[in-house]
Amino acid sequence: MTIAGRDALIVGSGRATIILPMGTQLTIEDALLYPESTRTLLSYKDIRKNGLHVETHVDNKEEFIFFTRLTGSSKQVCEKIPSLESRLYYTYIKPISNVAYKVIFQNVNSFQTWHDRLGHPGIGMMRKIICNSFGHNLHKAKFPQSSDFICTACASGKLILRPSTLKIRAEPLKFLERIQGDICGPIQPICGPFRYFMVLIDASTRWSHVSLLSTRNHAFAKILSQLIKLKAHYPEHRIQSIRMDNAAEFSSHAFNDYCMATGIEVQHSVPYVHTQNGLAESLIKRIKLIARPMLMNCKLPTSCWGHAVLHAAELIQLRPTAYHENSPLQLVRGNPPSISHLRKFGCAVYVPISPPQRTSMGPHRKLGIYVGFTSPSIIKYIEPLTGDLFTAWFADCIFNEDHFRH
């Protein structure tokens, strides 16, 4: 607990116990007591240390933060904290002596929005992405301190367990010189016809491509179509080798013939020696680490994991890796990517109804659930009643990023 007033006299420090309006008791270690100040800053960290969770809520167009506590499987709202016009949050606390202190929370709204849209990267990674992209309204200098920023989705533990960074020797490879691939699955429940996802990653730039598969036998057909696309897109870069893990037991004549004819060496890594294919394997881990909380944070069922996986894969393309200052997307395309088209996964989107279905007196928009994009100008959405996937022009859509979200 710190005081925002100037020239405040510190009369003591130590453990403080305060009581919030709805009776929640908070204990703050290392609190500083400034009796003359009327404003006190309470950090999210201090609140979290008391076993409480912090969540934002909009009620009747007014913004609140809720302090919640999990008891068994149910969630109890312990405190409801209103916001000021300056978009800070405030409440009154009762310390041991019956003096009421006003508590101000630092606003982190815009940061939180982009943190969410980008798939919950840590503050260090946020800084890297923001410096290497445009189309956002964030300033690096105004980033919150990591101790002041607590995201409930991250704090639920799913993103704290990061994969150990695999020590892969940075090899001086050219773009597309070596592609590594791996397959993840089978995944339960089935997502439409899909049970697997396959990743392909370029060992040089870390550019990657992810596709959903219904059976593992489809892997080679998918790789083949991707190789043909790459050759057409980047004729000046020669694909020299492709290294597959987990697919060694499958083979396809068409694939082998194609690789032989085009001079691509197909390598199968030794079973159970996964480090040979560490890049593809760690990409799968990173995708899962982003996709899983993204899905949990919205109201889509688990069977929509395929959309979350594809969106997470797009977001990873924006993240600079430990080996390069720039993101894979920038390395391949040559200039920093715009991220202005990103929205929160699983949020509400109002899509225009096309003329054949639209009546002059009926509604002109229908509700969809945003699940990503196929290009910066085209979004993908799910029709909530049928679960069917559609696309729409980004420019025609109206988003409500706080709707359908936990």
| 213: number of Cβ within 10 Å | 21
Nearer to Zn ion, 156 or 267 (CB): 156
Among 153, 227, 284, 331, binds Zn ion (CB under 5 A): 153
Looking at residues 342 to 371 of the shown chain, list those that interact with Zn ion (rule: CB under 5 A).
Answer: none
Interaction between residue 154 and Zn ion (CB under 5 A): yes
Nearer to Zn ion, 149 or 207 (CB): 149
Quote the CA–CA distance of 313 and 283 in Å, as a whole number.
9
Name the one residue in this structure whose structure tokens are 């639209």. Answer: 358
Binding part of the chain for Zn ion, among 113-121, 179-187, 307-315, 348-356 by CB under 5 A, reads: 113-121
Quote the CA–CA distance of 366 and 352 in Å, as a whole number.
6
Beta strands in 178-315 (DSSP E): 178-184, 196-202, 208-213, 241-244, 265-268
Nearer to Zn ion, 103 or 126 (CB): 126
**C-alpha dihedral over 62, 63, 69, 75, to 10 degrees?**
50
- Least separation in angstroms between residue 347's CB and Zn ion is 15
Apex 261 CA angle, 258 and 266, nearest 5: 65
- Least separation in angstroms between residue 379's CB and Zn ion is 22
Quote the CA–CA distance of 213 and 395 in Å, as a whole number.
31
What number of chain residues touch Zn ion (CB under 5 A)?
A: 4
Ordered DSSP codes for 26-62: EEEEEEEE-TT-SEEE--HHHHHHTT-EEEEEEETTE
Looking at residues 235 to 254 of the shown chain, list those that interact with Zn ion (rule: CB under 5 A).
Answer: none
Quote the CA–CA distance of 120 and 159 in Å, as a whole number.
8
Interaction between residue 129 and Zn ion (CB under 5 A): no
Binding part of the chain for Zn ion, among 64-72, 93-101, 116-124, 130-138 by CB under 5 A, reads: 116-124
Output the CA torsion sign for 336, 337, 343, 345: negative
Q: Which helix (H) or strand (E) holds 93?
A: strand 89-93
Quote the CA–CA distance of 78 and 74 in Å, as a whole number.
12
- Least separation in angstroms between residue 155's CB and Zn ion is 8
Nearer to Zn ion, 68 or 267 (CB): 68
- Least separation in angstroms between residue 2's CB and Zn ion is 24
Nearer to Zn ion, 104 or 296 (CB): 296
- Least separation in angstroms between residue 115's CB and Zn ion is 5
Q: Is 102 exposed, middle or buried (0-12, 13-18, 19+ CB in 10 A)?
A: middle
- Least separation in angstroms between residue 293's CB and Zn ion is 7
Q: Which helix (H) or strand (E) holds 282?
A: helix 278-296
Interaction between residue 120 and Zn ion (CB under 5 A): yes
- Least separation in angstroms between residue 112's CB and Zn ion is 8
Binding part of the chain for Zn ion, among 49-57, 100-108, 136-144, 154-162 by CB under 5 A, reads: 154-162
Interaction between residue 295 and Zn ion (CB under 5 A): no
Among 3, 42, 103, 151, binds Zn ion (CB under 5 A): 151
Binding part of the chain for Zn ion, among 28-36, 117-125, 330-338, 375-383 by CB under 5 A, reads: 117-125
Q: Any residues with CB less than 8 A from the CB of 103 and at least 6 apart, and which?
A: 39, 40, 41, 42, 90, 91, 92, 93
Nearer to Zn ion, 314 or 383 (CB): 314
- Least separation in angstroms between residue 384's CB and Zn ion is 25
Question: In the complex, which residues of this chain contact Zn ion (CB under 5 A)?
Answer: 120, 151, 153-154
